[in-house]
Amino acid sequence: AQSVSQHNHHVILSEAASLELGCNYSYGGTVNLFWYVQYPGQHLQLLLKYFSGDPLVKGIKGFEAEFIKSKFSFNLRKPSVQWSDTAEYFCAVNLVSSNFNKFYFGSGTKLNVKP
Amino acid sequence: GAGVSQSPRYKVTKRGQDVALRCDPISGHVSLYWYRQALGQGPEFLTYFNYEAQQDKSGLPNDRFSAERPEGSISTLTIQRTEQRDSAMYRCASSPETGYEQYFGPGTRLTVT
């Protein structure tokens, strides 16, 4: 079965620390990759996406992610976090072919940034 | 413009009752998805539509769950004879086309007592 793994369930950082959240998936075919964020009391919002091309993608609020095909990974990074980045982050993988379209989400990583 | 809306936002029902959850997608969006999210987990795919056609319902847990999108816009997820294990957040998302990023609604928190 296809799966998306987010290894860090809960991360606590101080402001200005660097962030890297891991995401691995198990599927050998073509994928579209996403990171979503859910701020407290709000709904899921798209942070960034990868469809093709440059494997290093930049999203909103200074976030970026790198697609490493050989490692089936799409890790999220930010050089310097802010208190306002406190949220839950979800990695998602879209498997698309001529006869199916599947979305799989990881279980999420809760980020707590201490001021 | 208006985002995805869902109603009701909260629903408490007694075991055995039927519930209908509504999703109003972003205008013009072709694809509409339903997910269920348990506490501490990510969204779990239930079903999706392109226009009015239900393309994939493989994620629906059993035949008590059904969904429709009769005019290719608003969708309803119906759970018959609810059970306590159905308690969860039910999320709807729409997308301009298949495979594009999804825009999520606020969700409906269903509690079955």
Phi, psi at A109, each rounded to 5°? -125, 125
Residues of B in contact with A106 (CB under 8 A): 42
Among the partner residues B42, B56, B101, nearest to A105 by beta-carbon distance: B42
Q: Is the pLDDT of residue A1 over 70?
A: no
Which CA distances in Å does A92 have to A48, A76, A88?
11, 12, 13
Residues of A (50-109) whose Cβ lies below 8 Å from B: 90, 92, 94, 96, 100-108
Distance CA A71, CA A76 (A): 14
**pLDDT greater at residue B100 or residue A57:** A57
Within an 8 Å CB–CB cutoff, is residue B49 touching chain A? Answer: no
pLDDT in tens, B32-68: 999 999 988 899 999 999 999 999 999 999 999 999 9
Whether residue B75 contacts residue B7, with contact meaning beta carbons closer than 8 Å, is answered with: no
Mean pLDDT for the stretch of residues A48-60: 94
DSSP letters, chain B, are ----EEE-SEEEE-TT--EEEEEE--TT--EEEEEEE-TTS--EEEEEEETTEEEE-TT--STTEEEE-TTSS-EEEEE-S--GGG-EEEEEEEESSTTSPPEE---EEEEE-
Query: Is residue A108 pLDDT above 70, yes or no?
Result: yes
Q: Is B36 on the interface with A (CB under 8 A)?
A: no
What is the mean predicted confidence (pLDDT) over A1-26? 92
User: Are the Cβ atoms of A4 and B42 closer than 8 angstroms?
Assistant: yes
Stretch among A31-40, A96-105, B9-18, B86-95 having the lowest mean pLDDT: A96-105
Share of chain A above pLDDT 70, in %: 98
Q: Is A45's Cβ below 8 Å from some Cβ in B?
A: yes
Q: Contact A103/B33, CB-based, under 8 Å? A: yes
Q: What is the DSSP letter of A86?
A: -
Cβ pair B43:A96 closer than 8 A: no
Distance CA A78, CA A58 (A): 10
Residue numbers in B near A49 (CB within 8 A): 101
Tallying the residues shown for chain A, one arrives at 115
